[in-house]
Structure 1
């Protein structure tokens, strides 16, 4: 009896040791000495995922990981995606990551008012995307942040940007105010691109849109400096003052040279600028000039505008800018 009791204690001790080692192997520190990204393929099973994890150095043994996952893990399917596995992640933590489906999010951001030539440069400069694309049609892209997968085609990412613009423009056009100056969605994009370039203050967008709408309705020239710059740089910063000869150039874009809208957009306007053009401020203002604080001061009459311009020049001289 005594021998049997000692044997039983030995078995119990061995069982406890096995359990301890098993738990340690499940919740203990993993082999990664630095974070790593791992892609789990579409349709992957626990077995194929384990092989991927082993090849990436995330786990030390695929069969052991599978056994422990089946014994101690949550019985959920693994999810396809790219995952960021932290340094020293335990097998339990790794399984939870690939079951949760919270894959790595990659974003490419197109700021409001970015011209298409710079959108093209940004997409082509992203080394995680593949393939080539032409410079997109100006005004066809909705500025926003877009997610993408590593290795995805640039063409597919660009298509999402353009689809987003089509959907947004259609929705906003359907909700447009009555009596607005623009007669079509394309005209809305053209005028919105000017509004986008003329003010960096969100609170001014509807007012600037109101001024330009008033000018269009009365046949006045828009006289928007960004329309002079666009044919020269395709929307990139000019980096110098506009030349007198450039103000006179009649090239289809220059709104100093002729009345009406330019022949096309001069940038990719954001949602708020499009919305402003389709529901502009109800104002009598026909003029505006910088106020020295990043915004503008507006005037209904030329006399009022000239006074505002004089104040602006006086401020610039005081600052040593003139």
Structure 2
């Protein structure tokens, strides 16, 4: 009798072990299987949260099939204690294993609210925007110019949220003085910049920053990026260029940047200046004259006078031969690459097509063609002034 009971007990135990093993195997498959989420969501994990709260939130939003399996999977993979605060983009069909990796990986938030400080040629603008997970596009919530009235309530609200992201967007063609002045209005940064960085040394780019970052550290990052861009471009330069060093390439790139209204024209504009340098002709470009007047400190805000075109400054390319002594702005990557790899043309002249700089230029290889293009532009000016 006892032998029969023992035999039945062992059989039952084996069955239970098989069932448990099958259950574990099923749970593992569920953990790594495609999830039920039909559209991307932005998952916010507040500071001080835990895996229990996260799993309940995900279950309520239909992102996971089982909050229990989610928690057990996080425990089994030793990731429960690695939960990070932030806002994270969870894509359509993400598995529980993928979601656990997303919320424990660390690094910057991938969705939610972002504040962008756009440093432009004329001013700084602050934009509060939020990523729409469904379209993966940002929706603007508020925008304002510091110093022009009070900041909107939306800005104050997101400043109080721990997972708000901050970004500095540096426009192509800004001067170093403008960057330093406008960084003063970025109230999430700390510290003062004692000296204006050398003109051209800052890379126009997008920089993610954290509250409390020192402004000097940000400037150093901008300089490091520009140095890397310039070094790579110089190593891949075309043969036979009329420029002798990376610094000369940076100077030429800054002129291309200020003369180019449309991105697709950079290579052609670069060819004009390259052809002029090779021919020993003055560059005769207005932005260099303007820089000689302003030294990069603000915008001239008016047309150039004939006396200014004749005035002798180190940057007046109507008077000096060759390149000016320094860049006249901070050029972007595309202008730097155009400076060292210009298009091959025979153009030595160009003038705006219309009164809108975005319409580009008319290029010419002869003075006769150029004069015709200039006459057409003058007629547009006359029509405007009637």
Tell me the TM-score normalised to structure 1 length.
Answer: 0.72
Instruction: Report the Cα offset of residue 232 of structure 1.
Output: 2.2
Aligned: 1:140 with 2:201 = yes
2:104 to 99, 106, 130: 99
CA contact (8 A) 2:277 2:322 kept: yes
- For residues 31-110 of structure 1, the aligned pairs below 5 Å read 49=48, 74-75=74-75, 76=79, 78=81, 83-84=86-87, 99-101=104-106, 103-104=108-109, 105-110=165-170
1:189 equivalent in structure 2: 250
CA contact (8 A) 1:82 1:103 kept: no
2:351 equivalent in structure 1: 289
Cα deviation, 1:123-145, whole Å, max 9, x if unaligned, reads 22111111111322110011110
- Distance, in Å, in 2 between the alignment partners of 1:240 and 1:179 is 38
2:260 equivalent in structure 1: 199
Instruction: Report the Cα offset of residue 152 of structure 1.
Output: 1.1
1:254 equivalent in structure 2: 316
- Distance, in Å, in 2 between the alignment partners of 1:202 and 1:116 is 22
Unaligned runs of 5+ in 2: 1-42, 51-67, 89-99, 110-164
Higher relative contact order (CA 8 A, sep 6+): 1
Aligned: 1:179 with 2:182 = no
CA contact (8 A) 1:228 1:255 kept: yes
Identify the structure with the greater helix proportion.
Answer: 1
Quickly say closer, same or farther: Cα 1:132–1:178, change in 2 above 3 A.
same
- Distance, in Å, in 1 between the alignment partners of 2:83 and 2:268 is 48
Instruction: Report the Cα offset of residue 237 of structure 1.
Output: 2.2
CA contact (8 A) 1:138 1:268 kept: yes
Q: Secondary structure at the match of 1:146?
A: strand
Aligned: 1:312 with 2:312 = no
- Distance, in Å, in 2 between the alignment partners of 1:282 and 1:96 is 50
Instruction: Report the Cα offset of residue 198 of structure 1.
Output: 0.3
- Distance, in Å, in 2 between the alignment partners of 1:122 and 1:81 is 33
Aligned pair count reads: 258
Instruction: Report the Cα offset of residue 122 of structure 1.
Output: 2.5
Identify the structure with the greater strand proportion.
Answer: 2
2:283 equivalent in structure 1: 222
Runs of 4+ in 1 over 4 A off after TM superposition: 35-39, 70-73, 77-82, 95-98
2:220 equivalent in structure 1: 159
- Distance, in Å, in 2 between the alignment partners of 1:282 and 1:170 is 23
1:114 to 174, 181, 196: 174
Quickly say closer, same or farther: Cα 1:147–1:210, change in 2 above 3 A.
same
Quickly say closer, same or farther: Cα 1:224–1:307, change in 2 above 3 A.
same
Q: Secondary structure at the match of 2:363?
A: strand
Instruction: Report the Cα offset of residue 233 of structure 1.
Output: 2.2
Quickly say closer, same or farther: Cα 1:149–1:81, change in 2 above 3 A.
farther
CA contact (8 A) 1:81 1:103 kept: no
Quickly say closer, same or farther: Cα 1:71–1:185, change in 2 above 3 A.
closer
Instruction: Report the Cα offset of residue 161 of structure 1.
Output: 0.9
RMSD: 3.0
- Distance, in Å, in 2 between the alignment partners of 1:112 and 1:80 is 38
- Distance, in Å, in 1 between the alignment partners of 2:227 and 2:362 is 33
Cα deviation, 1:148-169, whole Å, max 9, x if unaligned, reads 1111111111111111111111
- Distance, in Å, in 2 between the alignment partners of 1:80 and 1:230 is 52
Instruction: Report the Cα offset of residue 79 of structure 1.
Output: 5.1
Quickly say closer, same or farther: Cα 1:220–1:78, change in 2 above 3 A.
farther
